[in-house]
Structure 1
Amino acid sequence: MSIHRRASGSTGQDHDDQEEFNSAKSNTSPAEDFIDDTLAREKRFYYLDTAVPLYKAALKGDWKVAKALFEKYPDVFRRPITEGNETALHIAVAAEREAFVKELVKWMDSDDIALQNNNDNTALYYAAGSGIVSIAKEMVEKKKGLPLIRGSGEKTPLYVAALQGRRKMVLYLYPLTPFEDLKPIERIDILIATIITDMYDIALKILTKDRSLATMEDTYKRIALQELARKPFAIGRRSQLSVWERCLNNSWFKGMCNKALMQTLAHKLVDLLWKEVLVLPEEKFKDLVEKHSTFIFKAAELGNVEYLIILVRSYPDLIWRVDKNNQSIFHIAVKYRQESVFNLIYEIGAIKGIIALYISKGNENNMLHLTGRLAPSDRLNIISGAALQMRRELLWFKEIENIVPPSYKKMKNKMKNTGQQGLTPWELFIEEHEDLKKQGEKWMKDTANYCMLVATLIATVVFAAAFTIPGGNIQSGNNQEIGTPIFLKNNWFMMFFISDAVGLLSSSTSILIFLSILTSRYAEGDFLTSLPARLFFGLTTLFISIAGMVVAFSATCFLVYYSEVAWIPIVIIASAGVPVTLFVGLHFQLWADIIRSTYGSQFLFRPHKHRLF
């Protein structure tokens, strides 16, 4: 009953409040309503008359229009002209209107330049993102403390410039942003931003000023080593430039050595960061490595071998570490086909046999099972052609087969969903690579078909040319042919005959090779040596036949026309080099991939130089 009374009382009170509001509204006089409407119209008219034209002028960089508005409305440049509370300076800076900004800053005082929009961003915040240093200079010279005014997310302009990769802007703002005025979280955010955008010289300066940043987490709970683990091509082998690189760096060729310089600086940065981690107390070191252990395995996944070498040299115990799936860095390297990382296993002696015994949790995959899985697409596509990709996969399987114990070759894993016994490594390989094998067969047959067609045409042409001698044969007095070529003793005729014979023999050989490819049985083992070698020799003989045909044609032109019009055969021969060059250019990548896959694979594993110890 009491609840009902309280509810009833509340309803009565609401009714009274509504009546009071209506009464107050009805007490507003028509004159007051008219004044309010008039003020609203005047405000709207002022916006359309000043803000919109000024907005357009700032976007276009039209200083004449803007100056006329400033003379008519002297305080308009400090008023917001957008719904986001941006001033004309914000818009002009965002539009990268350098001359406009330079003139506008002259009309403004220091406080006007520091005005912020709804997101707390100053115009310098926009300039930092654009990377135009001259615009930033105009504003900073007028307002000295501007680089320390935080914008959206409490980020400094220096952080924005670093995150956007604006190197020149970072070099300008860094000395103007006092390090002692930055919070620790701001320092680590800027450090990681410079690492993300490959500004390792700036990152080294920041880390040198505050070594504690090496173990500190940024806003997104990352440490600096995690970001460097994602940079497989950024870290060089050495921490110093070689003598000739230093000489070039101090000469006209400075730009050529910039990449090498950055790689040495990245090497130094990793080394310094890891040393700071190693000197942590044992418990803190363990906690950090356990919490952020992904940086080790991410480096192995991406093939960041230089990074791993630096870490393992100083702390060899890392080679024993495993991830949540009980996989070491070598298992990860096998899984993602990173041969540069995997090759480090040959430098640890008998330990490699122990690590090869690790079995993954859950599905109980051993190291050989990991090679049975199809490689990620980005690693497959480093070489062209499905057949050559299949060969590379077979090389991996054969290599790991030599490392794991013999019993692992027949070991079955577990089915992911049912937990029942699954497949042996080879059975898994056949199942996972079935589509790649079919694609490889199709690619090989299509390539052989097209090349054999070209070879057949060339063979037909050069065969016919051998019996239609240029210039004809010597005839007797009674108009009977003796059969001796008229130009027999001419050097160009000899060149024609030899090149024509070379073209015929090489094109015939090419036809036979491509025919053997078409009739192959296409078993998994055929992709390892037989098919790639046949394709290489087929393409080589096809190129020789094309070159022979072109040389025979050029020799005929000289033989027939040189004595009469000398420039015609010269022009024709110069043009005849186009198809040969075109063939080489269009097929060079395929040719190089075949050579690298077929004959360079012996250097894929077991490097000659030791890198770890």
Structure 2
Amino acid sequence: MAYNYVIDCIPIYKAAIEGDWETAKHIFEEEKIDLNSYITYYWETTLQIAVGTNSSHHFVEQLVEWIMEVGGPELLRTNNWYGNNALHYAAKVGNTKAARLLVEKDPEITQIPNPSGHTALKLAPWYGRGETLCYLLEVTKDVVGESGTSPFQGKHGADLLTLTITAGFYDAALYLVKQYPDLVTEKNYISSQTGLQTLAAKPNAFRSGYMLGFWQRIIYSWIPVSRKKALESPIPGPSQVITSQNQNKANYNLNVPVWSVLRYLVPHIQQMYDDKVRHIQAEELVKQMCSIVINKVDHAIAWDVLGEALSTAVSYGIHELIEQCIYHYPGLVWYNVGGFYLFLAAIKQRQEKVYNLVYQMTGHKVYAATENIDGENALHFAGKLAPQHRLNTVTGAALQMQRELQWFKEVEKFVEPSYKEALNKENNTPRMVFTIEHKDLLKEAQQWMKDTSSSATVVAALLVTMAFAAIFTAPGGNKDDGKPLFLNESVFLLFAVSDAIALFSSSTSVLVFLSVLNSRFAEEDFLYALPKRLTIGLISLFISLASTMIAFSATLALVLRDKIAWIAAPVTLLAAFPVTLFLLLQYPLLVEMVRSTYGRGIFYKQNRLLLH
């Protein structure tokens, strides 16, 4: 019997969206409409609409049962205009309950691809549906389907692996690598990349690319994560914990009561915990894939797969992945990364973690002096301005300028003396290249230093005035002989000492900031002199502020102690507030400046794998 789209199909469509099974059933029965009829312009069935809109599971369940009674599992495979069936819809929207129901009724539906060759299993990670992906991994068989290949083999399998990695489901990717190791060396249809190369383009998957503030880094390091728990497979089955030689490096007790409560109460801590778990999984995934590549015992495959991943990782600075690649195949130091060897590429990209491999592999230092076709050597590359995303790894233009100078000085240490004055095709030496390239950054650094010093000078001068005036207006007044009334009180001694410290430290701060303002602001000054002065000035300013608050608290306690005996405790707490605020706001900058100027620097031996 013919039916009218507007009169009959739209009500069914609305009923499917709302999960109103009684209304839909009534329309089907009264109008004698086929259960598998197309009810939209794109040939979608009622089942596809209900599954795709995450409608009531009761609606889907009743409809599937009715379809099975009328026509059997074949009707569940009905396609829309684009060739997608109901399971494809479930995979796209993450409707795992509907997927389970469909597979229970028709187990073979998991093997059916759409005209583009995509099974429901591949669509789940494509649309970021982790729960549905895990279920479909469990029920999809490693057999040749209608596409002529298995979902776990060839380029289709590589698509599945790379899409799973792109979606951030590293536990599922570990499962795939363990069960189907041949996928590691396969390149996908989508971008002709291997899984390892795809992972190399995801800096957030690793600790090195996880951008955190000062206090966040501290919290992250304290969060306990069980490595064994993190590496458990999401797919049920025997021996599902992925193991490695370094498994016991991070075995922490996950059931620490304090952290369990904090993760529940503070969503940000829960997010950091989840990210830390993913970092462990990603590192293990790299180890597994590198081992599989090497076990192929084929230099061409190792060079191609590991080399392309290394080339991508250099751009993103993922030193964890580079360490593993070099550890498993040391010859990759000769891999051509965009026309440069590994170390030259690290200099150009300002990736110190990669560059530090030089310290473990000293035999390759000489290649940092190699020239390119433009006559530029490693020092010319160090003289060029870093990519913007690498400049922003430190705070403020002054520290950015300092880091650029540190890079130049470091590379300058080991190049041949003749290369320090070598001319490129524009007849510029490396030092001339540095000056030209950093002209704008130098101006920004000068302005940043002046603005910071000017603002701090105003605060320091105000503290000098307060501290100087306070000592001549002693709390409680003076006796006839001019001595302070509370001279013999221990609290008065605290007031006098703290006020003196405030005066001396604030005066020091003013003088130091004035010396910064009167500086010549030459390039070399940003390497050590100016950061040192700014550090001394900020420390002096902090001491002055803390001492001023102590002096004020002591004064208030002396004056009011006879009237309000308990005044000392609340005053002390209130006085600590501005000091704490200053610490929270300025301490990260101060620590960064001290670490950059006086610390071990950005160049040191840090790659554990290559030291053994």
Cα deviation code 1:278-297 (max 9, x no counterpart): x23x6xx17x8469854332
SS at match of 1:53: helix
Aligned match of 2:464: 459
Aligned match of 2:409: 398
Asked whether 1:430 is paired with 2:447, we answer no
- 1:149 and 1:156 in contact (8 A); partners too: yes
Aligned match of 2:288: 269
Task: After superposing the two structures, state which structure 1 stretch, 599-608 or 505-514, moved more.
Answer: 599-608
Cα deviation code 1:504-563 (max 9, x no counterpart): 111111111110110000001000001111111111111111111111121122112232
The Cα of 1:323 is off from its aligned counterpart by 4.2
- 2:185 and 2:305 in contact (8 A); partners too: no
**Selected match of 1:215 from 160, 180, 185:** 185
Aligned match of 2:400: 389
**Selected match of 1:357 from 345, 354, 369:** 369
SS at match of 1:351: helix
Asked whether 1:488 is paired with 2:502, we answer no
SS at match of 2:376: coil
Amino acid across the alignment from 2:200? A
- 2:505 and 2:543 in contact (8 A); partners too: yes
SS at match of 2:394: coil
Aligned-partner Cα distance in 2 for 1:87–1:105:
12
Amino acid across the alignment from 1:470? P
Change (3 A) 1:389 1:315: same
The Cα of 1:249 is off from its aligned counterpart by 6.3
Aligned match of 1:336: 349
Aligned-partner Cα distance in 1 for 2:335–2:552:
67
- 1:365 and 1:413 in contact (8 A); partners too: yes
Aligned-partner Cα distance in 2 for 1:499–1:412:
59
Aligned match of 1:80: 38
Change (3 A) 1:320 1:260: closer
Aligned match of 2:234: none
The Cα of 1:343 is off from its aligned counterpart by 1.1
- 2:303 and 2:332 in contact (8 A); partners too: no
Asked whether 1:159 is paired with 2:122, we answer yes
Amino acid across the alignment from 1:180? V
The Cα of 1:251 is off from its aligned counterpart by 9.0
Change (3 A) 1:588 1:171: same
Aligned match of 2:238: none
Aligned-partner Cα distance in 2 for 1:102–1:569:
70
**Selected match of 2:176 from 206, 217, 221:** 206
- 1:372 and 1:397 in contact (8 A); partners too: yes
The Cα of 1:108 is off from its aligned counterpart by 3.0
Cα deviation code 1:392-428 (max 9, x no counterpart): 00000001001111111111112xxxxxx33111101
Change (3 A) 1:80 1:422: farther
Aligned-partner Cα distance in 1 for 2:293–2:449:
48
The Cα of 1:81 is off from its aligned counterpart by 2.2
Alignment of 1:177-326 (within 5 A): 177-181=140-144, 182=150, 184-219=154-189, 220-232=191-203, 234=205, 239-243=244-248, 245-246=250-251, 248=253, 258-259=277-278, 261-277=280-296, 279-280=297-298, 285=300, 289=303, 293-323=307-337, 325=339
- 2:126 and 2:163 in contact (8 A); partners too: yes
Task: After superposing the two structures, state which structure 1 stretch, 131-140 or 236-245, moved more.
Answer: 236-245
Task: After superposing the two structures, state which structure 1 stretch, 463-472 or 391-400, moved more.
Answer: 463-472
The Cα of 1:606 is off from its aligned counterpart by 4.7
- 2:467 and 2:503 in contact (8 A); partners too: yes
SS at match of 2:43: coil
Asked whether 1:131 is paired with 2:101, we answer no
What runs of 5+ residues in structure 1 fail to find an aligned partner? 1-38, 415-420, 475-480
Change (3 A) 1:451 1:154: same
**Selected match of 2:8 from 45, 50, 75:** 50
Aligned-partner Cα distance in 2 for 1:609–1:349:
16
SS at match of 1:391: helix
SS at match of 2:362: coil
Aligned-partner Cα distance in 2 for 1:429–1:236:
31
Cα deviation code 1:2-32 (max 9, x no counterpart): xxxxxxxxxxxxxxxxxxxxxxxxxxxxxxx
What runs of 5+ residues in structure 2 fail to find an aligned partner? 145-149, 209-242, 261-272
Cα deviation code 1:484-504 (max 9, x no counterpart): 222222222222222222111
Cα deviation code 1:435-459 (max 9, x no counterpart): 1000000001000011111111122
- 2:359 and 2:604 in contact (8 A); partners too: no
Aligned-partner Cα distance in 2 for 1:207–1:201:
10
Aligned match of 2:526: 527
Change (3 A) 1:597 1:565: same
- 2:184 and 2:289 in contact (8 A); partners too: no
Amino acid across the alignment from 1:555? A
Aligned-partner Cα distance in 2 for 1:201–1:607:
27
Alignment of 1:410-425 (within 5 A): 410-414=421-425, 421-425=426-430
- 2:382 and 2:411 in contact (8 A); partners too: yes
SS at match of 1:473: coil
Aligned-partner Cα distance in 2 for 1:407–1:244:
46
Aligned match of 1:34: none
Task: After superposing the two structures, state which structure 1 stretch, 521-530 or 456-465, moved more.
Answer: 456-465
Amino acid across the alignment from 2:448? W
Cα deviation code 1:80-137 (max 9, x no counterpart): 2221112233233332234343444344323443222111112222221223422322
| Root mean square deviation, CA, Å | 2.9
**Selected match of 1:59 from 13, 17, 37:** 17
Task: After superposing the two structures, state which structure 1 stretch, 186-195 or 563-572, moved more.
Answer: 563-572
The Cα of 1:227 is off from its aligned counterpart by 1.8
Aligned-partner Cα distance in 2 for 1:608–1:311:
12
SS at match of 1:535: helix
Aligned-partner Cα distance in 2 for 1:244–1:214:
25
Change (3 A) 1:608 1:192: closer
- 1:500 and 1:548 in contact (8 A); partners too: yes
Change (3 A) 1:260 1:61: same
The Cα of 1:199 is off from its aligned counterpart by 3.3
Cα deviation code 1:298-317 (max 9, x no counterpart): 22222233333333334332
Change (3 A) 1:566 1:152: farther
- 1:470 and 1:560 in contact (8 A); partners too: yes
Aligned-partner Cα distance in 2 for 1:81–1:314:
57
Change (3 A) 1:53 1:577: farther
Aligned-partner Cα distance in 1 for 2:456–2:603:
29
The Cα of 1:250 is off from its aligned counterpart by 9.3
**Selected match of 1:89 from 40, 47, 53:** 47
The Cα of 1:260 is off from its aligned counterpart by 5.6
Aligned-partner Cα distance in 2 for 1:446–1:321:
45
The Cα of 1:63 is off from its aligned counterpart by 4.4
Aligned match of 1:380: 391
- 1:147 and 1:156 in contact (8 A); partners too: yes
TM-score (norm 2): 0.83
Change (3 A) 1:383 1:236: closer
Amino acid across the alignment from 1:436? L
**Selected match of 2:473 from 464, 468, 474:** 468
Amino acid across the alignment from 1:48? V
Amino acid across the alignment from 2:434? F
Amino acid across the alignment from 1:230? A
- 1:492 and 1:555 in contact (8 A); partners too: yes
SS at match of 1:360: coil
Amino acid across the alignment from 1:514? F
SS at match of 2:601: helix
TM-score (norm 1): 0.82
- 1:532 and 1:594 in contact (8 A); partners too: yes
